[in-house]
């Protein structure tokens, strides 16, 4: 080869190498976040997948209120709100100068549109129950909205903070699944299906501009691949890291920080209250006493998780610690079973895919065998679980984690899959729903927790921990997960 051709070849080779290795370096205002599940679409108001909110909540879409990192309800697109004496009419004052990503202004009309769309008869919003109480939404003027409820309720600001209640613009709502347009500090750039979603900073955001210029969510379902991606530097953070067995290695590595926080996921051993012999509270209490929570946390969750004694999150200020009530007591369990006249019991244990269920299920089966209860374990996929257990109620025992915040009211639904039917509890929850005084609400919550613990509706195991791995130098990632979201608004590189 002649000299110019040799130089040219060398240039081409070097450029190719540079292009190839370029991916590994992230600019200081870019962050690459890993997620296990890919959202099926990007409209949080159209489906139940938590993965949707994990990408768009607070980043792309905003609601009238929003959740803070500790689960408290903070102002969002509404700067303040007031409620009348009966607790039946709320007036929200909206911020001015807010625009959607496509330039359309945000006004009270958009609030009316979004909430009416969510509560419409044909809407496929997965949390329609949140909007059931709303009788009318009207725009008083461009920045004021009045929401009238059919019954007084203290829950409205909390309900409006959910991802299912975010604000959309009528012009762009139809395409929200594939081309989402919101009011958040990031706007949608691109979705390479199966691989990643890219968001970039929205320059006309109404509030504080975010420190990050670009955020990429990469979808990696395989735990080993997630480990490889973090170690190779292809990712900057993995908020819900799927391979807890590797966490010790990340802790020992100065390039990473492991953050352990809590979630709203109450993991329970659900029991079919409508089926004998589980309809006998003594049998349910026996099963709860036969279970050793710490063994399950250590064996199935690598030590990450907080024991719970009722269906409520321990980090919540209203939490009542009732763990001791159903503490590990195999002898007590055996005597309760004797009292109930139950011998030679075999129960079906149907387990969905997550590790807390599959691994936890085997540990529980062994613990139950110690008190003389045999279990038939059946491993199901989510679709089968939904069909057989959730819809068909064809099960004795199952293990599942309920990740919605403040979901005590599922115990007030007699047709919910575990079929707990107590009129007193239903009345209690109805009173709570209409109560607006904060202290009284806390008292009622305590009473509710005690009721379902005493009735031992299910065996309450532990609260799911959020174990995340973050590159050292990246600050602002939420430690807890009060709602299924990855709020990147406060994230920045500190070097």
| Tokens 């959309």 -> residue | 168
Q: Does 464 bind other proteins (CB under 8 A)?
A: no
Among 8, 171, 228, 427, binds other proteins (CB under 8 A): 228
- Which of 302, 308, 321 has the alpha carbon at shortest distance from 265? 308
Q: d(Cα 197, Cα 477) in Å, to the nearest integer? A: 18
Stretch 28-57: interaction string toward other proteins, x if CB under 8 A: ----------x-xx-----xxx--------
| Complex with other proteins: residue 222 or 321, whichever CB lies closer | 222
Q: Whole-number minimum distance, CB 15 to other proteins, in Å? A: 8
Q: Whole-number minimum distance, CB 162 to other proteins, in Å? A: 11
- What 3 state SS string does the chain have? CCHHHHHHHHHHHHHHHHHHHHCCCCCCCEEEEEECCCCCCCCCCCCCCHHHHHHHECCCECCCEEECCCCCEEECCEEEEEECCCCCEEEEEECCCCECCCCCECCHHHHHHHHHHHHCCCCCCCCHHHHCCEEEEEEEECCEEEEEECCCCCCHHHHCCCHHHCCCCHHHHCCCCCCCCCCCCEEEEEEECCCEEEEEECCCCCCCCCCCCEEEEEECCCHHHHHHHHHCCCCCEECCCCCHHHHHHHHHCCCEEEEEEEEEEEEEEEECCCCCCCCCHHHHHHHHHHCCHHHHHHHHHCCCCEECCCCCCCCCCCCCCCHHHHCCCHHHHHHHHHHCCCCCEEEEEEECCCHHHHHHHHHHHHHHHHCCEEEEEEECCHHHHHHHHHHCCCCCEEEEEECCCCCHHHHHCCCCCCCCCCHHHHHHHHHHHHCCCHHHHHHHHHHHHHHHHHCCCCEEEEEEEEEEEEECCEECCCCCECCCCCCCCCCEECC
Give the range of 137-145, 222-230, 313-321, 466-474 binding other proteins by CB under 8 A. 222-230
Q: Does 248 bind other proteins (CB under 8 A)?
A: no
Among 16, 171, 427, 438, binds other proteins (CB under 8 A): 16
Stretch 110-149: interaction string toward other proteins, x if CB under 8 A: -----------xxxxxxxxx--------------------
Strands 73-75 and 345-351: unpaired
Q: Whole-number minimum distance, CB 246 to other proteins, in Å? A: 12
| Complex with other proteins: residue 467 or 484, whichever CB lies closer | 484
| Complex with other proteins: residue 9 or 294, whichever CB lies closer | 9
| Complex with other proteins: residue 106 or 227, whichever CB lies closer | 227
Q: Whole-number minimum distance, CB 99 to other proteins, in Å? A: 27
| Complex with other proteins: residue 124 or 294, whichever CB lies closer | 124
For residue 40, give Cα distances in angstroms to 60, 181, 296: 16, 17, 32
| Tokens 């329609």 -> residue | 128
Binders of other proteins among residues 349 to 388 (CB under 8 A) are: 381-384, 386-388
Q: Whole-number minimum distance, CB 12 to other proteins, in Å? A: 10
Q: Does 472 bind other proteins (CB under 8 A)?
A: no
Q: Whole-number minimum distance, CB 467 to other proteins, in Å? A: 20
Q: Does 245 bind other proteins (CB under 8 A)?
A: no
Among 224, 279, 339, 494, binds other proteins (CB under 8 A): 224
| Complex with other proteins: residue 77 or 408, whichever CB lies closer | 408
Give the range of 72-80, 194-202, 307-315, 336-344 binding other proteins by CB under 8 A. 194-202
Give the range of 20-28, 181-189, 287-295, 319-327 binding other proteins by CB under 8 A. 20-28
| Complex with other proteins: residue 106 or 418, whichever CB lies closer | 418
| Complex with other proteins: residue 69 or 223, whichever CB lies closer | 223
| Complex with other proteins: residue 107 or 484, whichever CB lies closer | 484
| Complex with other proteins: residue 40 or 473, whichever CB lies closer | 40
Binders of other proteins among residues 146 to 185 (CB under 8 A) are: 177-178
Q: Whole-number minimum distance, CB 9 to other proteins, in Å? A: 14
- Which of 155, 119, 113, 162 has the alpha carbon at shortest distance from 138? 113
| Complex with other proteins: residue 70 or 175, whichever CB lies closer | 175
| Complex with other proteins: residue 191 or 304, whichever CB lies closer | 191
- Which of 448, 402, 419, 407 has the alpha carbon at shortest distance from 268? 402
Q: Does 189 bind other proteins (CB under 8 A)?
A: no
> In the complex, which residues of this chain contact other proteins (CB under 8 A)?
15-17, 19-24, 38, 40-41, 47-49, 121-129, 177-178, 192-196, 218-222, 224-225, 228-229, 231-234, 381-384, 386-388, 390-391, 402, 404
């Amino acid at each position: 080869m002649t000299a110019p051709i040799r130089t040219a070849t060398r240039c081409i080779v070097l450029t190719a190498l540079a292009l190839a290795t370029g991916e590994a370096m992230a600019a200081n205002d870019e962050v690459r976040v890993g997620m296990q599940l890919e959202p099926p679409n990007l409209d949080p108001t159209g489906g139940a997948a938590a993965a949707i909110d994990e990408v768009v909540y607070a980043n792309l879409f905003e609601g009238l209120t929003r959740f803070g990192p500790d689960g408290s309800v903070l102002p969002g697109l509404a700067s303040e709100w007031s409620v009348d004496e009966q607790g039946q009419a709320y007036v929200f004052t909206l911020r001015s100068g807010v625009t959607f990503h496509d330039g359309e202004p945000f006004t009270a009309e958009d609030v009316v549109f979004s909430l009416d769309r969510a509560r419409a008869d044909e809407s496929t919003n997965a949390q329609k129950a949140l909007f059931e109480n709303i009788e009318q939404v009207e725009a008083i003027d461009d920045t004021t909205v009045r929401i009238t409820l059919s019954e007084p309720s203290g829950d409205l600001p909390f309900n409006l903070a959910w991802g299912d209640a975010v604000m959309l613009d009528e012009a762009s709502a139809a395409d929200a699944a594939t081309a989402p347009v919101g009011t958040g500090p990031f706007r949608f750039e691109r979705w390479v299906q199966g691989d990643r979603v890219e968001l970039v900073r929205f320059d006309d955001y109404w509030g504080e501009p975010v420190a990050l210029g670009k955020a990429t969510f990469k979808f990696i379902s395989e735990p080993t691949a997630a480990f490889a991606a973090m170690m190779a530097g292809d990712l900057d953070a993995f908020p819900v890291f799927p391979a807890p067995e590797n966490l010790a290695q990340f802790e020992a590595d100065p390039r990473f920080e492991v953050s352990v926080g809590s979630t709203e996921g109450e993991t329970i051993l659900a029991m079919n209250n409508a089926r004998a012999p589980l309809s006998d509270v003594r049998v349910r209490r026996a099963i709860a006493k036969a279970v050793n929570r710490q063994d399950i946390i250590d064996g199935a969750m690598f030590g990450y998780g907080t024991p719970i004694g009722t269906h409520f999150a321990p980090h919540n200020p209203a939490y009542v610690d009732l763990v001791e009530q159903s503490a590990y007591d195999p002898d007590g369990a055996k005597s309760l079973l004797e009292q109930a006249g139950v011998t030679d019991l075999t129960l079906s244990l149907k387990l969905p895919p997550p590790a807390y269920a599959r691994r936890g299920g085997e540990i529980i089966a062994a613990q139950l065998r110690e008190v003389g209860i045999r279990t038939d374990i059946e491993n199901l996929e989510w679709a089968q679980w939904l069909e057989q257990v959730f819809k068909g109620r064809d099960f004795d025992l199952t293990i599942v984690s309920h990740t919605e915040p403040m979901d005590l009211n599922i115990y007030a639904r007699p047709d919910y899959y575990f079929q707990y039917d107590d009129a007193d509890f239903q009345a209690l929850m109805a009173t709570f729903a209409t109560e607006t005084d904060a202290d009284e609400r806390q008292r009622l919550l305590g009473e509710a927790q005690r009721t379902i613990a005493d009735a031992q509706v299910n065996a309450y195991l532990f609260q799911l921990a959020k174990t995340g791995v973050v590159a050292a130098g990246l600050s602002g990632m939420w430690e807890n997960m009060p709602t299924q979201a990855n709020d990147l608004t406060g994230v920045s590189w500190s070097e």
